[in-house]
Structure 1
Amino acid sequence: MKMNTTVQHVTDRIIMRSQTTRRDYLERMDAARAKGVARGHLSCSGQAHAYAAADEDKARLVGEGAGNLGIVTAYNDMLSAHQPFESYPALIKSAVREAGGTAQVAGGVPAMCDGVTQGEAGMELSLFSRDVIALAASVALSHNTFDAAVFLGVCDKIVPGLVIAAQAFGHLPAVFLPAGPMTSGLPNDEKARVRQRFAAGEVDRAALMEAEMAAYHGPGTCTFYGTANTNQMLMEFMGLHLPGASFVTPSTPLRTALTAEGAKRALSLSALGDSYTPVCDILSEKAFVNGIVGLNATGGSTNLLIHLIAMARAGGILLDWEDFAELSEVTPLIARVYPNGLADVNHFHAAGGLGYMIGELLGAGLLHADTKTVAGTGLAHYTQEPTLASGTLSWQAGVGRSLNDKILRSVADPFQPSGGLARLSGNLGTAVMKVSAVASEHQIIEAPVRVFADQNDVKAAFKAGELTGDLVVVVRFQGPKANGMPELHSLTPVLSILQGRGQKVALVTDGRMSGASGKVPAAIHVCPEALDGGMIAKLRDGDVLRVDATTGVLEVLTAGVESRPASIADLGQNQHGVGRELFAAFRNAVGAADTGASIFGE
């Protein structure tokens, strides 16, 4: 199938834009790989320190002929998505020994849950945790004793942070090993209804707690299509998972077999063998374009419009929001998973899942078919699905058709002709919006604004009955430099209630709204942010704002706003408590959202 001309044009533009930075990066990776087996350069004392606790693996490690696999894990048992990783190191070591190699846990990285910290002070550390994870993973691998690596991570900032670190060690092969989604519990739409009823004062906290516990009830990733599951999609579209690995539930024989095979595959790709495939060769410009197409086709999380930019820059590839917007225009939305529909990711996987989607998009010329992956050259590997028969893992052709057209559709009969993400720009700056769940009649609003500097003030105004008529709720001083750019997802029930009353309502913010943003239009990641003197800092109550996702407009219609002095917020309360005082250096160094909101430079 001939490549779609827009996809090819955007890819060529990214390659040209990134020419210098990508060349410099690849030269560094070439120099690193040329040094050969890393641990061979260690002193005898250094090697003895590295092998002292290796027990039965010591002889293989000293001999240097067997590959040594580094395990970087985000295990903790507070996150349901990461609790299954507790048993992975032992499983990986056993699998690698069978293949004649060795494995060691190189180190652990933190993993926080945005679901726990929503609306809390800890959320102000959430975005920064991505770069902490990248730093921690780099420390783990800096011992330079590994021939390949596996990365154990799932959730929102963890996978992007691990990818950034993997690219810093891009001369090494790497396989990402997921834990899988929890089994389906209380339907997500029913959970959302209970949240709205609680926000409206119609049910008590006991009813809310019962619903939440029924929805989040066991090990595995949350089952809605938020940032965590968008990460899993990306790892398949970009070739760092084994095919079909993303949405196999924990503690099943197939999940165990995929984990063992992923570890073996990582070592098989090392420079010690004949199939050397380092991360720097997999994560090419084409791979990132494939990831953006997947993001649009699935209506994925808006957080990835920040993370993908940061992930790409770690490999010398320069993306911008224009790339996302142009790809969205030609990418049909062919999946509806909550909050973009009623199905959860288990239903999505059963209906044909990522294998079906990749096959459809390849057939339409919307994906680059010739990318390198951990499964071999060619994205067609990812149209296959894993099976386990008599203890033997193999891959076979996927279903080739949707088994439920309310969840998955063909490119020829999509849910909507363009992707689930929109870029907005105008005199207020630049922003993004997830539109895959926003009805067409709600994608345009022109209304006066109510301006807030804290999401709790929005909730208080709602409870006081102040949010009447059509309005645009502006929540500013929520950018990365101001307070770490927290998600404002806890505003979703309030805004949904207003919309349900027949009001036209939208959110505009320099903060984030998360992959769970739903039916209310939310222009987020506004750049420049308020603390940088962006126009959003000059708005006053009553100014009229136009938010139009159909034409990509974010415009202040009130005259004279640009000549006003920028408002100044008291951010003192955001500087201390729950560790925030330790992140002052991050707030001072972080870049803008449209460059990845990273501390690693523009």
Structure 2
Amino acid sequence: MTRLHPAIERVTDRVIDRSRKSRAAYLELMAIEGDRHRDRNVALPCSNLAHGFAAAGEDKDSIATRRGPNIGIISAYNDTISAHQPYGAYPPQMKVFAREVGATAQVAGATPAMCDGVTQGADGMELSLFSRDVIALAASVGLSHAMYDSVAMLGICDKIVPGLLIGGLRFGWLPTIFVPSGPMPSGIANKEKQKVRQLYAEGKATRAELLESESRSYHSAGTCTFYGTANSNQMMMEMMGLHLPGAAFIQPGTPLRQALTRAAVHRLAAITREGDDYRPLAQCVDEKAVVNAAVGLLATGGSTNHAIHIPAFARAAGVQIDWADLAELSHAVPLLSRVYPNGAGDVNHFHAAGGMGFVIRELLDAGLAHRDIVTVAADDLTAYGSEPWLDGENLAWREAGPSGDEAMLRPAANPFQADGGMRLVQGNLGRACFKTSAVDPERWEIEAPCRVFDDQVQVAKAFAAGELDRDVVVVVRFQGPRANGMPELHKLTPPLGVLQDRGYKVALVTDGRMSGASGKVPAAIHASPEALGDMSGNWGPLAYLRDGDVVRLSAVDGTLSTTADLAAREPATPPPAAQGMGRELFAMFRANADEAEKGGSAMLAMAGL
């Protein structure tokens, strides 16, 4: 057995020690709640039970007499998000699959599922991060009926999986499996899509041409095929053992996809308390599983959004991890894959080259991930180093084999780069994340006068007017959780990319988000404390910056600083709170949100987690 890498061991030990009290409190609560809800026929009066199975049809008698386990389905189905559209067909199928093994299944509840791709640059994006809290709350409402012995989570995209995991962890005595829907088939080449976006930003392509390009890229049911937050979610569920092995990137509507869903339902019936292989979610998601999620993120160059989501869902399990932990892991974990926007191919190419089975096997064999975690499928993570296939009509697993394309996927002994490409930068402008894996090393360091903006629309106008045609650090502030919900600032990528292509040294500093689609421009994102500051009235340092201040950003030495005397200034006046598109209804979330490094959550902060 390969010895664990010293850095992985050191960070894990630190996380365990830091989490000792909170993790013990969490496990104690789960044990108490699990005992209280051990038997729904005892915990719920007859009238309550009758309400719960009144519409269960042919499953009514089985649920009433507790003849077999009852699986609760939490679904994020809707028709607007391509990745979630396939979930509409899942519950009827899952009920049939459950009956095959003497179980039943009920849709316990639904959660919202919004798409940052639809809302990017629009008002709705300001609801995006807090939709994670809403999803966790909605999942909790569904599971609060206490009718279930295990849980199937149907969700795949950006805030949905972290939200479902947070909600599910507060019902951690229930075994839980995440059931993906898979990526859409590949569309046009990513370089072609990126080229049209930049041409449009320069006024050299029409809106009709841009829409045609985008429609050829995002063209059918399934997740978007670039390696952003949605597909990084699926990677993490594999690294934590919360999928069936290899389930992440099998396309919708295929026999293998349905076979994996069927197997997930059968497994949910087998791992309940009533059987001899009880695997509650609280036992599966521990400090080692959380570290594995971070390792997978770094090894694959995944979405920077998970620098916020990992601390958030870890808190829900009583585990405390921070950006310093991620940065130390990054120095030890090599980059094994280059998936667009970090490379040319998309997640379908990644999967065809060996995918998660290859990545997990390489990490385990190199001592870079914890093998000894409890997964939903096996007693450790070893089984996840394989890939699923259909042997005739039977679902089976086989060795992942060597990389099928070393331009996409490399072994740990020959990585794309020695570290995982996620750096912590800090200084008198606060702490922020810098994703180096998509940025050329010669651009990892910049020192230039800054230009300060309060939103991305102002940046676009300045770019169009030629005001940014120089070496510049673009600062976009008042974009944090407390200011406006921390939207993703995707609209910044094309114009800043154009400036960089014109030969200028360009960087972005923001307390907002940029996701896995941040691309080739160096960026310090999630700057914390945010410009608006905290509930005690302490402003963040970005609030004191002025146009022309020299800002230094370096992923080489981990610097985010300015030479300006910030202490001598008054903070800038933030924009007024936005109204419309429901944003006013989220004022409670904004007012109570904590900093990005803790997860940017109002719900977790108010719960004292």
**How would you bin the TM-score normalised by the shorter chain?**
over 0.9
Aligned to 1:546: 552
**One-letter amino acid of the structure 2 residue matched with residue 310 of structure 1:** A
Find out whether 1:561 has 2:566 as its counterpart: yes
Aligned to 1:446: 447
The Cα of 1:280 is off from its aligned counterpart by 0.4
The Cα of 1:39 is off from its aligned counterpart by 4.3
Contact 1:254–1:387 at 8 Å: present in 2 too?
Answer: yes
**One-letter amino acid of the structure 1 residue matched with residue 170 of structure 2:** A
Find out whether 1:514 has 2:510 as its counterpart: no
Which of 89, 92, 95 is the matching residue for 1:93? 95
**One-letter amino acid of the structure 1 residue matched with residue 541 of structure 2:** M
Contact 1:40–1:64 at 8 Å: present in 2 too?
Answer: no
Q: Secondary structure at the match of 2:212?
A: helix
Contact 1:150–1:177 at 8 Å: present in 2 too?
Answer: yes
Aligned to 2:542: 536
Q: How do 1:57-456 residues align onto structure 2 when only pairs under 5 Å count?
A: 57-399=59-401, 401-456=402-457
Distance in 2 (alpha carbons) for counterparts of 1:520 and 1:139: 41
Distance in 2 (alpha carbons) for counterparts of 1:72 and 1:261: 17
**One-letter amino acid of the structure 1 residue matched with residue 582 of structure 2:** G
The Cα of 1:434 is off from its aligned counterpart by 1.2
Contact 2:454–2:575 at 8 Å: present in 1 too?
Answer: no
Distance in 2 (alpha carbons) for counterparts of 1:100 and 1:186: 45
Unpaired runs of at least 5, structure 2? 534-538
Distance in 2 (alpha carbons) for counterparts of 1:418 and 1:80: 33
Distance in 2 (alpha carbons) for counterparts of 1:38 and 1:571: 50
Distance in 2 (alpha carbons) for counterparts of 1:218 and 1:440: 36
Aligned residue pairs total 598
Distance in 2 (alpha carbons) for counterparts of 1:472 and 1:209: 30
Distance in 1 (alpha carbons) for counterparts of 2:465 and 2:41: 65
Distance in 1 (alpha carbons) for counterparts of 2:268 and 2:556: 44
**One-letter amino acid of the structure 2 residue matched with residue 218 of structure 1:** S
Contact 2:478–2:484 at 8 Å: present in 1 too?
Answer: yes
Distance in 1 (alpha carbons) for counterparts of 2:322 and 2:176: 26
Q: Secondary structure at the match of 2:152?
A: strand
Contact 1:216–1:222 at 8 Å: present in 2 too?
Answer: yes
Distance in 2 (alpha carbons) for counterparts of 1:271 and 1:407: 42
Aligned to 2:582: 579
The Cα of 1:395 is off from its aligned counterpart by 1.4
**One-letter amino acid of the structure 2 residue matched with residue 546 of structure 1:** R
The Cα of 1:569 is off from its aligned counterpart by 1.5
**Identity across the alignment (%):** 56
**One-letter amino acid of the structure 2 residue matched with residue 267 of structure 1:** A
Distance in 2 (alpha carbons) for counterparts of 1:541 and 1:273: 65
**One-letter amino acid of the structure 2 residue matched with residue 477 of structure 1:** F
**One-letter amino acid of the structure 1 residue matched with residue 554 of structure 2:** D
Q: CA RMSD in A?
A: 0.8
The Cα of 1:234 is off from its aligned counterpart by 0.2
The Cα of 1:123 is off from its aligned counterpart by 0.3
Q: Secondary structure at the match of 1:395?
A: strand
Q: Secondary structure at the match of 1:445?
A: strand
Q: Secondary structure at the match of 1:449?
A: strand
Distance in 1 (alpha carbons) for counterparts of 2:93 and 2:124: 33
Distance in 2 (alpha carbons) for counterparts of 1:239 and 1:340: 25
Aligned to 1:45: 47
What do residues 254-280 of structure 1 show as CA deviations (whole Å, max 9, x unaligned)?
000101111111121110100000000
Q: Secondary structure at the match of 1:441?
A: helix
Q: How do 1:463-478 residues align onto structure 2 when only pairs under 5 Å count?
A: 463-478=464-479
Contact 2:256–2:389 at 8 Å: present in 1 too?
Answer: yes
Distance in 2 (alpha carbons) for counterparts of 1:240 and 1:587: 31
Aligned to 1:589: 592
Contact 1:364–1:411 at 8 Å: present in 2 too?
Answer: yes
Q: Secondary structure at the match of 1:97?
A: helix
What do residues 107-154 of structure 1 show as CA deviations (whole Å, max 9, x unaligned)?
000000100111001000000000000000000000001000000000
Which of 550, 575, 588 is the matching residue for 1:570? 575
Distance in 2 (alpha carbons) for counterparts of 1:585 and 1:522: 29
Distance in 1 (alpha carbons) for counterparts of 2:77 and 2:232: 19
Distance in 2 (alpha carbons) for counterparts of 1:440 and 1:39: 62
Contact 1:300–1:420 at 8 Å: present in 2 too?
Answer: no
The Cα of 1:41 is off from its aligned counterpart by 1.6
What do residues 345-402 of structure 1 show as CA deviations (whole Å, max 9, x unaligned)?
0000000001001111111100011100011111111011111122211112221x11
Q: Secondary structure at the match of 1:198?
A: helix
Q: Secondary structure at the match of 1:531?
A: coil
**One-letter amino acid of the structure 2 residue matched with residue 569 of structure 1:** P
Distance in 2 (alpha carbons) for counterparts of 1:570 and 1:208: 31
Distance in 1 (alpha carbons) for counterparts of 2:43 and 2:67: 14
**One-letter amino acid of the structure 1 residue matched with residue 90 of structure 2:** Y
Distance in 2 (alpha carbons) for counterparts of 1:99 and 1:40: 24
Contact 1:421–1:433 at 8 Å: present in 2 too?
Answer: yes
Distance in 2 (alpha carbons) for counterparts of 1:315 and 1:561: 39
The Cα of 1:468 is off from its aligned counterpart by 2.0
**One-letter amino acid of the structure 1 residue matched with residue 559 of structure 2:** V
What do residues 75-133 of structure 1 show as CA deviations (whole Å, max 9, x unaligned)?
00110000000100011100000000100000000000100111001000000000000
Q: Secondary structure at the match of 1:261?
A: helix
Q: Tell me which stretches of 4 or more aligned residues in structure 1 moved more than 4 Å.
A: none
Distance in 1 (alpha carbons) for counterparts of 2:321 and 2:79: 35
Distance in 2 (alpha carbons) for counterparts of 1:7 and 1:275: 29
Q: Secondary structure at the match of 2:517?
A: coil
**One-letter amino acid of the structure 2 residue matched with residue 416 of structure 1:** Q
The Cα of 1:486 is off from its aligned counterpart by 0.4
Aligned to 2:536: none
Distance in 1 (alpha carbons) for counterparts of 2:72 and 2:47: 20
Unpaired runs of at least 5, structure 1? none
Q: Secondary structure at the match of 2:553?
A: strand
Distance in 1 (alpha carbons) for counterparts of 2:302 and 2:389: 27
What do residues 188-241 of structure 1 show as CA deviations (whole Å, max 9, x unaligned)?
221111000010111111111110000000000000000000000000000100
Contact 2:83–2:224 at 8 Å: present in 1 too?
Answer: yes
Distance in 1 (alpha carbons) for counterparts of 2:525 and 2:178: 29
The Cα of 1:2 is off from its aligned counterpart by 0.6
What do residues 507-543 of structure 1 show as CA deviations (whole Å, max 9, x unaligned)?
0001011111110011000011110111110000000
Find out whether 1:489 has 2:494 as its counterpart: no
What do residues 282-318 of structure 1 show as CA deviations (whole Å, max 9, x unaligned)?
0010001111000000010000000010000001001
The Cα of 1:28 is off from its aligned counterpart by 0.6
Distance in 2 (alpha carbons) for counterparts of 1:38 and 1:52: 15
Distance in 2 (alpha carbons) for counterparts of 1:38 and 1:420: 48
The Cα of 1:65 is off from its aligned counterpart by 3.2
TM-score, scaled to structure 1: 0.99
The Cα of 1:490 is off from its aligned counterpart by 1.1
